[in-house]
Amino acid sequence: MDETDHQILALLTDDGRRTYDDVARRVSLSAPAVKRRIDRLRADGTLRGFTAVIDHAGLGYATEALVELFYGPAIQLDEVAASLRARPEVVEAWSVTGEADAIARVRTRDNADLERLIIDLQRDGAVVRTRSQVVLSRLVLRRGEDESG
């Protein structure tokens, strides 16, 4: 990956709807050359896709939280992933080091809805406890990072 590829990625990160012609003008290449580079970046996994950025609060999901999940000793990671994938409120989830077994980033309508989700997660006994942090405001967001999940 060279400097031109970095420039192309920066331009697409700023506006994923740019045309090949627009990108080409900005990096001093032809549109077909830019298309080939973008195709290569997609094929090698560097450019994973294009997405719309949505204001979730505008959709009615005003509460965002990080929920640390502590599972019982017999739970396997694939079971954890399947359980979290089944819940639409879970935007992202990670297995982590430290005390918790996993951390989930969730979006709910409000705090009462967050509480309902936590109770639901604990209902079957696989999650033995949780620890949550409600997001008050975003301090840093790097362009090109997943903003929605």
Q: Domains along the chain?
A: 3-43 (1.10.10), 56-134 (3.30.70.920)
CA 134, distance to chain mean position in Å, is 17
Mean pLDDT by 10 residues, the chain (149 residues): 94 91 96 96 93 82 96 91 95 96 97 96 92 94 59
pLDDT at 148: 46
pLDDT at 149: 42
Residues 6+ apart with CB under 8 A from 19: 31
CA 39, distance to chain mean position in Å, is 23
pLDDT at 29: 96
Residues 6+ apart with CB under 8 A from 80: 69, 71, 93, 95, 101, 102, 126
pTM: 0.74
pLDDT at 145: 58
